[in-house]
A = this chain, B = another copy of it.
Amino acid sequence: MNNKLIYQFSPSNTEGDKSMTDLLGGKGANLAEMSLLGINVPPGFTVTTEVCNYFMKHGNVPDNLDEELKQSLKNLEKTTNKIFDSDKKPLLLSVRSGGKISMPGMMDSILNIGINDKNLESLSSDFNDERFALDSYRRLIQMYGNVVLNIEMDRFEAILDNKKRIDGVENDNEFNPDQLRWIIDAFKTTIERFSKKSFPQDPNIQLNGAIEAVFKSWSNKRAVTYRKINNIPDEWGTAANVQSMVFGNLNEKSGTGVAFTRFPSTGKNKLYGEYLMNAQGEDVVAGIRTPFPIGMHEKNTQPSLEEVNSALYKEIKDIADKLEMHYKDVQDIEFTIEDSVVYILQTRSAKRTAQASVKIAVDMHNENLLTKEEAINMVDANQITSVLHPQFKESSERDLFEKGLNASPGAAVGVIVFDPDTAELEAQKGRKVILVRDETSPEDIHGMFSSVGILTTKGGMTSHAAVVARGMGKPCVAGAEKLIIDYKNKTISNSSLTLEEGDLISIDGSTGEIFVGEIEMESATLSDEFNTLMTWCDEYKKFSIRANAETVVDTSKSLEFGADGIGLCRTEHMFFEGERILPMREMIMSDSKQGRTRALNKIIDFQISDFKEIFKLMKEKPVTIRLLDPPMHEFLPKSEVEIAELANSTGVSTAYVSEVLSRINESNPMLGHRGVRLGISYPEIYKMQVSAIFKAAYSIYLEDKTKVNPEVMIPLVMNSKEFKKMKKIIVSTIEKLEKELNFEFNYLIGTMIELPSAALNSSAIGENADFFSYGTNDLTQTTLGLSRDDASKFLAEYVEKNIFEVDPFVSVDENTVGKLISSSVTDGRNSNTSIKIGVCGEHAGDPKSIQFFNSLDIDYISCSPYRIPTARLAAAQAQISIG
């Protein structure tokens, strides 16, 4: 533990600065920094986070705190020319919490410390206002009783309410001195009755109690929950900021307010905020009086400070400018005016919308305030996707139904439907529907496609619903585990409310919230600043960004968002759609190669036209096509009706269909007969797919002489023999076609590295592969032994209990999956200098993972179309971060 427990800040002696947020918390560090800048901050001192940690561990503050506290108070008395614990000119203090990261409203503050029965009179005369002094004392006793002595706030409020009722007083601030004296007595009695203690008359005891209470509040339930949700470590602790009081409620030349140096919702460069004269911060919060705007703005309904008192406005504006310039970021400032003197109580980086964030970054570079690197770093890569999606209007009213995982960003309003067919039907009628399922499967795709949003009660961030929704750019709330769907009666219920099919709901995929009824929306347009920022990013990022896309819509979106190619085109969707599923099922039912080939011949033309559409859009840009991957039974019917249908259409008995179903059913399909294993067992499937790819390529060439660049990807390879065997089959299929057409194709043949064994065999596989693409989803599943479909049951608990810092399906688990990828890249490059290496798992859209990928020698990453801007930004930031 650091020896120094307290850091002072005052015009004459400031010991901290803005870099010391670990020790002093964000508020304390910035109070020190502002003091150093010569900004008028009420002087005071900060008790460090280490003291908090000591307190949490031992249940008491360190012995030497008392000595430092005394010395600090002495210094503060000198600076303020007031005396703590004195009957004359008493020094009043506030004690406020302040962790490294702001946790607004989560912890406690106590104001007016230092008042007691004896100095009350001196205070009245110092401020020339008896009522003010008594009210301040009343507030101190109330806060102290609640925060330090844990007496419920209601007990004090009840006394105030009674008194108001009995004496016919409307508002708290209308009590006269006698009434306040009566209240103070009643408060003291309440404290004695419920805490078995008197309200302490010794200001030192008040101060110590307040500091300890702030430390304790770090562990209150609200704060603990907030930290869990926001991934803030418990070990950080909070500082306690002890500051001389200033009073915005002293007179009409006093006041209080909050200002943003730019508009936090749009980014517009104009001081923005609210203030109230003759008021304290809590008055603004309590909403008793409506605050006035600070800056002039067309939407203002009341006169602004700028108009009413331009001198004061200018004073605040100058301070705001100075702070923004100094911090090189938009500031969120709290100020108090005491008798015409402006004091700044807090400054911090302002929260802002994604739109604002982009505009501010670009503007600040153009204003020469930031370098291009700084501007890029200023935008949150995760947040930026929300500029692409329509959103709920901020002002709209909301009735929360439940909260799930924010699986795919954006907002959607629609009527509930419980099955994909109804979704499609209703959508055809022009209705906006939200598909609500326990979980989705590839057979639901048409329903998902027809819906404006998807809600599931099971599955995590990388469940089928989540992945597909992100791919489609549709909002999705996944894993809302508390909701119960009753498919039979077509209802969905939380603990108190049951909604039916056809009821309107609104879902926010950026927050995971589900609302009852309709919430007003606004759509997104990509700003010039957005495009500028993206262009800047491309100057820095060291690898290219591709998209995971297999439909025309996705492919177009990818290009719109700046994809350099397609890194993962999943072909299984091509087997599910519409009438194609029938020959696919016929193929699976067949027990001969001839039968299978006959069935496949019915699908090939569909696949050719699918590939053509994609090639037509992508032109020469590389398109990585993954050959059929999922286990066969995903394609088979489940219901008895469907089974009967299939039996009928293929001319076999339903018993035979059922037998095939049970034969190919698997205990763990993820580890079963899928990927290249199907290709090895039924080479005719892969041959058909390869033929379709290159026939499409040739047809594009015939149309406009474009020579496309397909990259054929073999999934789920375990070792080099398996890869070589499959590659040979593919190459001979291509070469046969080349001979037939007298044409030479561009192509690469590579593999997905998605099993630990493939990663460990990279050296041997690399010798023959033209490219590696890391399938980080599956690699995470097998490396950690975690099924992404099942893990939602306990993964949240694992993150909560800090066994994982982050969900490993969200950010690559660097110690394990990362280690495998890293050594695989090295092995692959060593065995094949010309190998192309990419990443195509969901992690490719996650900034933290992108930071990791940037440390590897790779050529591209490939993510969902809507994550491309995130990826471009994060890739640039990652590269900037290493200089």
A residues neighboring B (CB under 8 Å): 664, 666-673, 677, 680-681, 716, 718-719, 721-722, 725, 754-757, 760-761, 764, 778, 781-787, 789-791, 793-794, 797-798, 801-804, 813, 815-817, 819-820
Task: Decide if B756 touches A816 in the complex (CB within 8 Å).
Answer: yes
- Which of A666, A718, A757, A791 counts the most chain B CB atoms within 10 A? A757
Shortest Cβ gap from A100 to chain B (Å): 22
Residues from chain B with a CB closer than 8 A to the CB of A764 are 815
Partner of A789, one of B667, B721, B791: B667
Nearest 4 Cβ contacts at the A-B interface = A671-B787, A668-B787, A757-B816, A672-B790
Tell me the bound Cα distance from A457 to B813 in angstroms: 40
Tell me the bound Cα distance from A677 to B802 in angstroms: 14
Q: A721-B802, A725-B803 are in contact. Are A756 and B783 (CB under 8 A)?
A: yes
Q: A785-B755, A794-B677 are in contact. Are A761 and B816 (CB under 8 A)?
A: yes
Residues from chain B with a CB closer than 8 A to the CB of A754 are 785
Tell me the bound Cα distance from A817 to B820 in angstroms: 13
Tell me the bound Cα distance from A56 to B861 in angstroms: 47
Partner of A757, one of B677, B716, B761, B785: B785
Partner of A718, one of B670, B785, B820: B785
Task: Decide if A760 touches B816 in the complex (CB within 8 Å).
Answer: yes
Shortest Cβ gap from A462 to chain B (Å): 13
Tell me the bound Cα distance from A668 to B794 in angstroms: 14
Q: List 21 A-B contacts (CB under 8 A).
A: A667-B669, A667-B670, A668-B790, A671-B786, A671-B791, A673-B790, A677-B798, A680-B794, A680-B801, A681-B797, A721-B802, A721-B804, A722-B803, A755-B784, A755-B785, A756-B784, A756-B785, A756-B816, A761-B816, A778-B785, A782-B782
Residues from chain B with a CB closer than 8 A to the CB of A787 are 666-668, 670-672
Shortest Cβ gap from A467 to chain B (Å): 15
Tell me the bound Cα distance from A804 to B761 in angstroms: 13
Task: Decide if B815 touches A760 in the complex (CB within 8 Å).
Answer: yes
Residues from chain B with a CB closer than 8 A to the CB of A761 are 815-816
Closest partner residue, chain B, to A631 (CB atom): B790
Residues from chain B with a CB closer than 8 A to the CB of A801 are 680, 725
Task: Decide if B671 touches A760 in the complex (CB within 8 Å).
Answer: no
Residues from chain B with a CB closer than 8 A to the CB of A671 are 668, 670-671, 781-782, 785-787, 790-791
Partner of A785, one of B782, B786, B789: B782
Closest partner residue, chain B, to A792 (CB atom): B673
Residues from chain B with a CB closer than 8 A to the CB of A802 are 721
Task: Decide if B798 touches A680 in the complex (CB within 8 Å).
Answer: yes
Task: Decide if B673 touches A816 in the complex (CB within 8 Å).
Answer: no
Residues from chain B with a CB closer than 8 A to the CB of A786 are 671, 718
Residues from chain B with a CB closer than 8 A to the CB of A803 are 680, 718-719, 721-722, 725
List 8 other contacts, CB 8 Å, given A718-B785, A725-B801: A666-B787, A667-B789, A668-B668, A677-B794, A718-B784, A756-B756, A756-B784, A757-B813
Tell me the bound Cα distance from A798 to B801 in angstroms: 42
Tell me the bound Cα distance from A716 to B784 in angstroms: 9
Tell me the bound Cα distance from A244 to B785 in angstroms: 65
Tell me the bound Cα distance from A722 to B667 in angstroms: 26
Residues from chain B with a CB closer than 8 A to the CB of A817 are 757
Task: Decide if A785 touches B716 in the complex (CB within 8 Å).
Answer: yes
- Which of A716, A786, A797, A804 counts the most chain B CB atoms within 10 A? A786
Shortest Cβ gap from A809 to chain B (Å): 12
Shortest Cβ gap from A793 to chain B (Å): 5
Partner of A673, one of B667, B670, B794: B794
Residues from chain B with a CB closer than 8 A to the CB of A791 are 671-672
Residues from chain B with a CB closer than 8 A to the CB of A794 are 673, 677, 680-681
Shortest Cβ gap from A782 to chain B (Å): 5
Q: A757-B784, A784-B757 are in contact. Are A719 and B668 (CB under 8 A)?
A: no
Task: Decide if A757 touches B783 in the complex (CB within 8 Å).
Answer: yes
Tell me the bound Cα distance from A791 to B666 in angstroms: 9
Residues from chain B with a CB closer than 8 A to the CB of A781 are 671
Closest partner residue, chain B, to A781 (CB atom): B671
Partner of A719, one of B672, B755, B793, B815: B815
Residues from chain B with a CB closer than 8 A to the CB of A668 are 668-671, 787, 789-790
Residues from chain B with a CB closer than 8 A to the CB of A789 are 666-668
Closest partner residue, chain B, to A664 (CB atom): B793
Tell me the bound Cα distance from A672 to B785 in angstroms: 8
Residues from chain B with a CB closer than 8 A to the CB of A680 are 794, 797-798, 801, 803
Task: Decide if B797 touches A783 in the complex (CB within 8 Å).
Answer: no
Tell me the bound Cα distance from A680 to B815 in angstroms: 21
Residues from chain B with a CB closer than 8 A to the CB of A673 are 790, 793-794
Closest partner residue, chain B, to A798 (CB atom): B680
Tell me the bound Cα distance from A384 to B797 in angstroms: 49
Tell me the bound Cα distance from A813 to B760 in angstroms: 11
Tell me the bound Cα distance from A755 to B786 in angstroms: 10
Shortest Cβ gap from A789 to chain B (Å): 4
Task: Decide if A783 touches B798 in the complex (CB within 8 Å).
Answer: no
Task: Decide if A783 touches B782 in the complex (CB within 8 Å).
Answer: yes
Residues from chain B with a CB closer than 8 A to the CB of A820 are 756, 760
Closest partner residue, chain B, to A716 (CB atom): B785
- Which of A680, A786, A790, A801 counts the most chain B CB atoms within 10 A? A790
Shortest Cβ gap from A754 to chain B (Å): 8
Tell me the bound Cα distance from A785 to B760 in angstroms: 13
Closest partner residue, chain B, to A676 (CB atom): B803
